[in-house]
A and B are shown apart, each in its own frame.
Chain A
């Protein structure tokens, strides 16, 4: 008999978790950010329900500051798997006055996207949202359950999480409360790339080395975009870079790299001395920046 490898073990765990969501909740959805982890979620969901279609809506919170490649890739994916896409727009929240842009050159919409997310959940009455967060990413995420309870304001209470025994998930909740579910909890960045290679999954071109205009701020390499223009003293220059994570363009740092294929990315990741989120400005606001955002309803 063929010996199953570790990647198939992770795949099996995630598939089982995604199926459980479909059974336990009335109106679940998958949160799609455009990054490789949420892309992986969609591929795992396709596996979980094959030969039937994915029975979930796909939710994308559009900050309005995305790389154009992200949106193009999203639309292609939706078409290919016949997915049902819902877009929540941060611009709309700002126009309605429920969210306000931060000021200054380091402004991002990273924090206010939680507002749009919660509005989208309320509008569509989603009772469970599946996210691609992984425990190895960040120290607050290292504390997450697979099925994470949220009160009616979408808040996480890390000091009072439900026990989660074996693979028995208590999905009971009061009206208005919801769950966040993290089927990729046990995956590491390396596992994700190995799996992408193993199953031949196509990922956005931003993950591979390409030439683009960049500038340095606070030690982080940013792409020149209309949403984050360089200041007069920050000289833009062309470099061969790739992105290790893809958030919106204002908070995602680039990596100088020549890795143009998945095996080259895997070889590079094996040598890297910093974590994936080491280039994410949004995590550096304070010592517990991620926990603080998660408590507010961020993923």
Chain B
């Protein structure tokens, strides 16, 4: 197995409608890159045989739960890891069922790229599925930059180029509507491995790269070193170091940008200013500089009030502040969002009370058009709302910063996570 320790990492989620072959494709990708271990392979052989299947059922590689194997579907996301000489990959297998959309959102919230699978044979009969459009819309909404579209089951449509072209046109139009203009389209057969790792002779009309090569070379934009420095304070640490018996520092993980000793910073809403006195870690007690996504401890020149939930930010590129924020919400709760209910939101390391007032726009998944309206948001619906918070917060737009621009909505009656919020 290949083993690079360099930082070229691609996190990629496999999405699309149910039965489009996501789990099978992941199994195939691992199989053909020699990333399935012998004991995993014999487990797959045994389990396939037990199900009366003559071929190796590659979907069982990620469908690890009893209920998934019984039903032949993916219920929750599974993570798998592999590496080639070029890159390390974290692969997330997402469920296609509408019922498990919240698990798909979970899987997509931390990735850089998605592979959207489309079943070519199903397309010929039914056109582009609503769930495919929903997944495209969600991935785009979550700010994912790399979109690869695998047109799967080409073997079942006679490797017909015209089918591939029709799907390509349709999916490009749908992606354009949700703001995902750059697509890499690849005709494949996950079951047979065509264009997954090896080029297929059955698809001579396709001149482009295989799925693996596409993923190895996909440019999702280097983590932006020029982004504004944002540091959510996670914990105040007090202790004694070799040089300072009364050490008091602010621990956290840099959300974006770079910080250097001597930089001027401001504290979130309060606006207090100070300078960075030191950057500290266990292995490098005195660092000069640190960047996202490092976990560090910062000390400041001045004794100012800073605690968990505060946001340290650079000047002059300060975050916005406010207590009534327009946000896109993906509703994940079984009961609709209720404007009269006081919910809890978590914004980086801070909980706040919140109300969702005024659903302004809703995205109609079948047409991918935003409609005006003030009805409540139901399960798996996406809408634009006004989020009224009990305290002002320092924040950025989600498009600029995933960490300071996002919240989760919690129902305090059930403690369930019922919504994902993205600040506009």
- Residues of A bordering B, CB below 8 Å: 1, 3-9, 11-13, 15-16, 19-20, 22-23, 46-53, 135-136, 138-140, 142-143, 145, 158-159, 161-170, 172-174, 185-186, 188, 190, 194, 198-199, 270, 272-275, 278, 287-288, 291-292
Contacts and interface: CB of A to CB of B under 8 A. Distances in A.
Given A4-B291, A139-B64, A170-B417, 17 more contacts: A4-B7, A6-B88, A8-B294, A9-B7, A11-B295, A47-B281, A47-B282, A48-B251, A51-B240, A135-B79, A143-B76, A159-B75, A172-B344, A270-B3, A274-B39, A275-B39, A287-B47
Contacts of B407: 168
A288 B66 CA distance: 6
Contacts of B240: 51
A22 B417 CA distance: 21
Nearest to B38: A273
A54 to B, nearest CB: 11
B62 interface: yes
B7 A165 contact: no
Contact of B415 (A161, A172, A292): A172
B283 interface: yes
B259 to A, nearest CB: 12
A136 B67 contact: no
B106 A163 contact: yes
A52 B408 CA distance: 31
B37 interface: yes
Interface string B100-119: 00110110011000000000
Contacts of B3: 190, 194, 270
Contacts of A20: 234, 349
Interface of B: 1, 3-7, 9, 37-40, 43, 46-47, 50, 61-62, 64-67, 69, 75-81, 88, 90, 102-103, 105-106, 109-110, 234-235, 237-241, 247, 251-253, 258, 280-283, 289, 291, 293-295, 297, 308, 332, 344, 346-349, 402-403, 406-408, 410, 412, 415-417, 420
Contacts of B65: 140, 143, 158-159, 288, 291
A47 B283 contact: yes
Contacts of B75: 158-159
A37 B291 CA distance: 27
A51 B7 contact: no
Contact of B79 (A47, A165, A186): A186
Contact of B37 (A166, A167, A274): A274
B7 A162 contact: no
A273 B78 contact: no
Nearest to A170: B417
Which are the 3 A-B pairs with shortest beta-carbon distances? Answer: A139-B64, A52-B239, A51-B239
27 contacts: A4-B291, A5-B7, A11-B295, A12-B253, A13-B253, A23-B235, A50-B282, A51-B240, A51-B241, A51-B280, A52-B238, A53-B239, A135-B78, A162-B416, A163-B420, A164-B109, A165-B408, A165-B417, A168-B346, A169-B346, A170-B415, A172-B410, A172-B415, A190-B1, A272-B37, A278-B39, A288-B65
A167 B239 contact: no
Contacts of B289: 1
Given A23-B234, A52-B237, A166 B402 contact: yes
B290 to A, nearest CB: 9
B146 to A, nearest CB: 18
Contact of A166 (B5, B332, B403): B403
Contacts of A136: 79-81
Nearest to B333: A163
Given A1-B289, A278-B37, A7 B105 contact: no
A103 to B, nearest CB: 26
Contact of A1 (B4, B78, B291): B291
B408 to A, nearest CB: 5
A186 B412 CA distance: 30
Given A5-B6, A50-B282, A135-B79, A291 B64 contact: yes
A218 B105 CA distance: 43
A142 B294 contact: no
Contacts of B80: 135-136, 142
Nearest to A185: B79
A101 to B, nearest CB: 27
A198 B283 CA distance: 11
Nearest to B9: A6
Contacts of A186: 79, 81, 90
